Amino acid sequence: MTANLLDFDLEGLAVFCEGMGEKRFRATQLFRWIHQRGMSNFDDMSDLAKSLREKLKVNAHVAPLPILSQQISKDGTIKWLFDVGAGDAVETVFIPEDDRGTLCVSSQAGCAVGCRFCSTGHQGFSRNLSTAEILAQLWFAEHFLRKHLHQTDRVISNVVMMGMGEPLQNYSALIPALKAMLDDHGYGLSRRRVTVSTSGVVPMMTRLSLDCPVALAVSLHAPTNELRDNLVPLNRKYPLDELLAECTLYLSKAPRDFITFEYCMLKGVNDQTEHAQALVQLIRRHAANGLRCKFNLIPFNPFKASGLLRSDDAAVEQFASILIQAGFVTTVRKTRGDDIDAACGQLAGDVKDRTGVAERIAQQRAVPIEWHANAPQSGAH
């Protein structure tokens, strides 16, 4: 099998070129052809020596992901479903805004974390994507969009690792993909405009801050361990105080001076005044140690199997106003691409259950989610 060159960051490509007996700088030219120009045919890479092109034809290829579907929303959002083999598919979403173009990228087929409110979580874990499969989403989208929008300049200015999967549970494939996104010879994206979203894989957050510090979003969803254990099962391993202490440490290396906390608004579950007040107390306690953050409230995108409902607008407003009054910058995420099921947590394609996770979640659902206003805020673990 020949190497898929989308699997490499620039350093990896240089090593590959050296392995073929080529000078390292050839990798830079090749990397630019692939990522900046969107080329996959070595014969079209006119400034590469003929001898190198011949070696590449024998040893390498640039393989896009087969597209299963493309849907364009009324609001300009585009969703692609890519085939990653063995019946698995992943989704990528482009969200155009006035001042930026954001690509929401998947990191895994399915997800092992199994959050109750997430359709990917209900699907169970199938496998990690390779670096090539992560980067192919950006490579295809950027070059497709340039043609589609008749633009010669860059279209995608921001990448959010908020598609299917938990990026920090696919660390070794993620890092070269992030490096290619940031590389001036690749996509040249600013570190501040590449965001890794995590449900809180604490040790990998430390490593990310050292290996490739980019903007960080943390999916919080609850102000107590009791409630978060139930919504985000990973909390049992990395409880809130540990997670928030790590967020504080991350800031010393981060390109932005705040962490974004995502909070999915679930009717009657985590959206009451008491929850907002408990959240303020929790974050204030960590703010005393240097934690700086913004909140992004995400109205839940319902799907049948979850048994959960979207919070009423009034509840979302009330929740936001409590956070704002406490001095936290808080935004409510606009739902985009609703008509094509491209909104957060709807990225499941045909839901398949590979690991019995749907059954586990159904069992959890049988246990009512209780909220005790006086429950301990920490120390439960």
How many other C-beta atoms can be found within 10 angstroms of the C-beta atom of residue 353? 15
Q: Does 114 bind ligand SF4 (CB under 6 A)?
A: yes
Q: From the list ligand SF4, ligand SAH, none, pick the one residue 262 interacts with, judged by a Cβ distance below 5 to 8 Å according to partner type.
A: ligand SAH
**Closest separation between CB of residue 273 and ligand SF4, Å?**
25
Rounded to the nearest whole angstrom, what is the least distance from the CB of residue 251 to ligand SAH in the complex? 18
Sequential DSSP letters for 46-108: TTS-HHHHHHHHHHEE--PPPEEEEEE-TTS-EEEEEEEETTEEEEEEEEEETTEEEEE---E
Query: Residue 330: which of ligand SF4, ligand SAH, none does it interact with, CB under 5 to 8 A by kind?
Result: none
Q: Is 199 in the site for ligand SAH (CB under 6 A)?
A: yes
CB of 42 or CB of 261, closer to ligand SF4? 261
Residue of 168, 166, 159 lying closest to 195 (CA atoms): 159
DSSP-derived 3-state class of residue 284: helix
The residue count for binding ligand SF4 (CB under 6 A) is 11
Distance of CA 206 to the CA centre of its chain: 17
Q: Which amino acid is at 208?
A: L
Nearer to ligand SF4, 199 or 306 (CB): 199
CA atoms within 13 A on the CB side of 69: 13
Closest to ligand SF4 by CB, 165 or 337: 165
Report the distance separating Cα 38 and Cα 5, nearest Å. 12
Residues 256-295 that bind ligand SAH (CB under 6 A): 262, 264
User: By C-beta, is 142 or 166 nearer to ligand SAH?
Assistant: 166
Beta-carbon contacts of residue 276 (< 8 Å; ≥ 6 apart): 223, 318, 319, 322, 323
Which of these ranges, 60-68, 70-78, 148-156, 298-306, lies near ligand SAH under the rule CB under 6 A? 298-306
CB nearer to ligand SF4: pick between 166 and 183? 166
Site string for ligand SF4, 191-220 (x = CB under 6 A): --------x-------------------x-
d(CA 335, CA 333): 6
How far from the centroid of its chain's Cα atoms is residue 10's Cα? 22
Amino acid at 45: M
Report if residue 114 touches ligand SAH, rule: CB under 6 A.
no
Dihedral angle, C-alpha 339, 345, 347, 349, nearest 10 °:
-90
Pull the structure tokens for residue 334.
Answer: 């606009």
Closest to ligand SAH by CB, 179 or 336: 336
Judged by CB under 6 A, which stretch of 26-34, 113-121, 203-211, 329-337 contacts ligand SF4?
A: 113-121
345 near ligand SAH, judged by CB under 6 A: yes
Residue 229 sits in the site that holds ligand SF4 (CB under 6 A)? no
Residues of this chain that interact with ligand SAH (CB under 6 A) are 117-118, 162, 166, 197-199, 219, 262, 264, 298, 300-301, 344-345
Residues of this chain that interact with ligand SF4 (CB under 6 A) are 111, 113-115, 118, 120-121, 165-166, 199, 219
